[in-house]
Amino acid sequence: MKLIGAHLSPYVRKVATILTIKGISYEPEVVIPGMMPDDFIEISPLLKIPVLVDGEVTLPDSSVICEYLNEKYPEPATMPSDVAERARARFLEEYGDTRLLEYMSVPFIENVVKPGLRNEQPDEDRVRRVVHEMLPGALDYLESQVPAQGFLFGDFSTADIALVSPTINAGLGGYTVDAGRWPRYAGFVERVKAFPPVVAVLQAEQEAMGSLLG
């Protein structure tokens, strides 16, 4: 099995977490956004990472990949068994992948990617605007969705990592969730980060990206 992507991508991290939970060993192959090989479009028509290669099967899109992995390798399950819960898990996964990531990527891009990879100055006003004006609404919503204890649907699911992976990137860019204002979500983030498969994935990222992460 091959996981094509870049180590700090929240979407790649989501897939790496699911592979790790299922005990599937995989070989990471680095493809960095903006520096994709010319023929990458043949395996990723939207020109995005990650892409999974499982024998004859090549799949783009982290949500499609996670669903494929859960159907092909069902144990341990990484989606709830109840139909309605599974639908809710899919929406929460989508929320993490889109709205939450849109906001949480800003501290990461401005404070990690720009100075570390592009030799550019961070736009601190942009970070302040997103953190103070846009992110609070998203965090209010998540505060109403996540549990006070444990994970969203009992056993760890794809939705759990999808709702935390973007926040891990923001953390690398110096952002911390205010636990006074959003205690449930702040606690949930810490529980997901402490889940052993997530710890292992973050450790591998740290080893691969040590110089960028300082």
Which positions touch ligand GSH (CB under 6 A)?
9, 11, 33, 47-50, 61-63, 97
Tell me, rounded to whole angstroms, the distance of Cα 138 from its chain centroid: 16
Distance CA 107, CA 141 (A): 20
Q: Copy the structure tokens of residue 211.
A: 């110089």
Asked whether the beta carbons of 7 and 209 are under 8 A apart, the reply is: yes
Between 17 and 62, CB nearer to ligand GSH: 62
Residue placing its CB nearer to ligand GSH in the complex, 50 or 197? 50
Retrieve residue 178's tokens.
């205010």
> Please, what is the minimum distance in Å from the beta carbon of residue 93 to ligand GSH?
9
Smaller CB distance to ligand GSH: residue 157 or 186? 157
Instruction: Kindly tell me which of 159 and 186 has the beta carbon lying closer to ligand GSH.
Output: 159
Which amino acid type is present at position 9?
S
CB of 32 to ligand GSH, least distance (A): 9
SS3 state of residue 21: helix
Task: Rank residues 105 and 145 by Cβ distance to ligand GSH and give the closer one.
Answer: 105
Residues forming beta bridges with residue 4, ordered by sequence position: 29, 51
Smallest distance from the beta carbon of 213 to ligand GSH, in angstroms? 16
**Closest among 21, 1, 45 to 199, alpha carbons compared:** 21
Minimum CB–partner distance for residue 98 and ligand GSH (Å): 8
Shortest reach from residue 33's CB to ligand GSH, in Å: 4
Q: Are 6 and 12 a contacting pair, CB within 8 Å? A: yes
